[in-house]
């Protein structure tokens, strides 16, 4: 972090996406924390699927980069400075920073749907314009209420609070898990965490599918009863199509239309499909959905689940350490993103932020 002359803002390094395949490490201004804010020196930041979409394609679905944007929303670091009136945090505390910043006053927030906030400022999002700048930077000023103490965890574990919160919200959307037969399609980090949370919530049987062999071992280690490669064996789910289907719940974590359709084919009547994966619009087999009375439910982001995710990791109820396969210094961001795109070797890749 570079200090400037008295009265001027300090600079900190940040990782910007300018367009597809165009990442640049450059300076951004670092403000002094105001009332209710804290300055956090970041230590770890996880590369998410959305970061990979911005890098690979310049966006996802209809969302496009229209200006340079700092990437990143899975971050943790140590409190370096407290703004006026901040309590419950101390300099040196390790915190997981929730990237979700709802306004609290719009109609959706007022009715308790903060994840649907009309004025959401979610770190690293090109959905609005001007874009909401992200958190892949050496230091950041954050709202104190978004900084959840993560004592007892490593910075890498704390940075996993965001994807775990996404999954906790999704499992909530699915309803009762006790004794349910569950299908998880897509075994990236979100899919693997879904297996862990569904099992913790009481799922009786979990079958996982993916098209990459490397994901199979992670799925089994996370608690899946079977892990099926549907690329190598397109009929792998056929045994579960008995009658009108045998699964109670499908968590669709890939964003791939074939996985969605295959899951609907093996859901039993009045089964529940929870869609997490986002990679653009998909065609739905509406005749099957209608005839089998399938409940199709979206799952988008989270709110109070973020603090619960930290607490679950602290209590040892969810162990995310096996998912963190690689870490790279911020300066090696090109190698980090290349590795994150290689599903044969990587699950969760994190960036390491040096001291400022």
Q: Are residues 206 and 294 in the same domain?
A: yes
Do the domain assignments include residue 174?
A: yes
Q: How many domains does the chain have?
A: 2
pLDDT tens-place string over residues 206-254: 999 999 988 999 999 999 999 999 999 999 999 999 999 999 999 999 9
- pTM, entire model: 0.94
Q: Are residues 114 and 144 in the same domain?
A: yes
Q: Are residues 133 and 147 in the same domain?
A: yes
Look at residue 11 and tell me whether its pLDDT is greater than 80. yes
Q: Are residues 185 and 265 in the same domain?
A: yes
Q: How many residues does the chain have?
A: 356
Do the domain assignments include residue 131?
A: yes
Which residues on neighbouring strands pair with residue 29, listed in sequence order?
11
CATH of the domain at 152: 3.90.180.10
DSSP state of 58: S
pLDDT category, 1, cuts 50, 70, 90? low
Nearest CA to 199 out of 181, 211, 214, 217 is that of 181
Q: Are residues 54 and 113 in the same domain?
A: yes
Which residues on neighbouring strands pair with residue 57, listed in sequence order?
none
Tell me phi and psi for residue 193, to 5 degrees: -65, -35
Q: Are residues 132 and 249 in the same domain?
A: no
Do the domain assignments include residue 261?
A: yes
pLDDT tens-place string over residues 131-160: 999 999 999 999 999 999 999 999 999 999
Q: Are residues 51 and 24 in the same domain?
A: yes
Sign of the Cα pseudo-torsion (194, 196, 200, 204, in order): positive
Do the domain assignments include residue 307?
A: no
Determine the pLDDT at residue 308: 98
Look at residue 342 and tell me whether its pLDDT is greater than 80. yes
């Amino acid at each position: 972090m570079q200090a400037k002359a008295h009265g001027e803002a300090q600079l900190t390094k940040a990782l910007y996406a300018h367009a597809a395949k165009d990442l640049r490490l450059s300076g951004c201004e670092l403000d002094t924390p105001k009332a209710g804010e804290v300055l956090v020196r970041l230590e770890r930041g996880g590369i998410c699927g959305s970061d990979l979409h911005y890098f690979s394609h310049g966006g996802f679905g209809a969302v496009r980069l229209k200006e340079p944007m700092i990437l990143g929303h899975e971050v943790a670091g140590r409190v370096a400075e407290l703004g006026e009136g901040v309590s419950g945090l101390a300099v040196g505390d390790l915190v997981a920073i929730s990237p979700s910043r709802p306004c609290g006053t719009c109609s959706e927030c007022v009715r308790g749907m903060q994840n649907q906030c009309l004025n959401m400022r979610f770190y690293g999002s090109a959905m609005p314009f001007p874009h909401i700048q992200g958190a892949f930077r050496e230091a950041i000023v954050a709202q104190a209420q978004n900084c959840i103490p993560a004592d007892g965890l490593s910075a890498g574990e704390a940075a996993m609070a965001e994807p775990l919160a996404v999954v906790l919200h999704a499992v909530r959307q699915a309803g009762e898990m006790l004794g349910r037969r569950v299908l998880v399609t897509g075994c990236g980090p979100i899919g693997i965490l879904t297996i862990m949370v569904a099992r913790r919530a009481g799922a009786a049987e979990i079958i996982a599918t993916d098209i990459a062999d490397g994901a199979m071992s992670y799925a089994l280690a996370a608690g899946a009863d079977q892990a099926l490669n549907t690329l190598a064996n397109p009929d792998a789910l056929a045994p579960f199509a008995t009658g009108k289907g045998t699964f109670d719940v499908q968590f669709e974590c890939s964003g791939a239309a074939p996985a969605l359709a295959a899951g609907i084919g093996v859901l039993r009547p009045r089964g529940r499909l929870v869609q997490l994966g986002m990679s653009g619009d998909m065609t739905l087999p509406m005749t099957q959905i209608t005839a089998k009375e399938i409940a199709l439910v979206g799952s988008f982001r989270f709110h109070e689940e973020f603090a619960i995710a930290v607490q679950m990791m602290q209590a040892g109820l969810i162990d995310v350490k096996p998912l963190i396969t690689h870490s790279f210094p911020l300066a090696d961001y090109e190698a980090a993103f290349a590795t994150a795109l290689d599903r044969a070797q990587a699950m969760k890749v994190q960036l390491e932020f040096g001291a400022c």
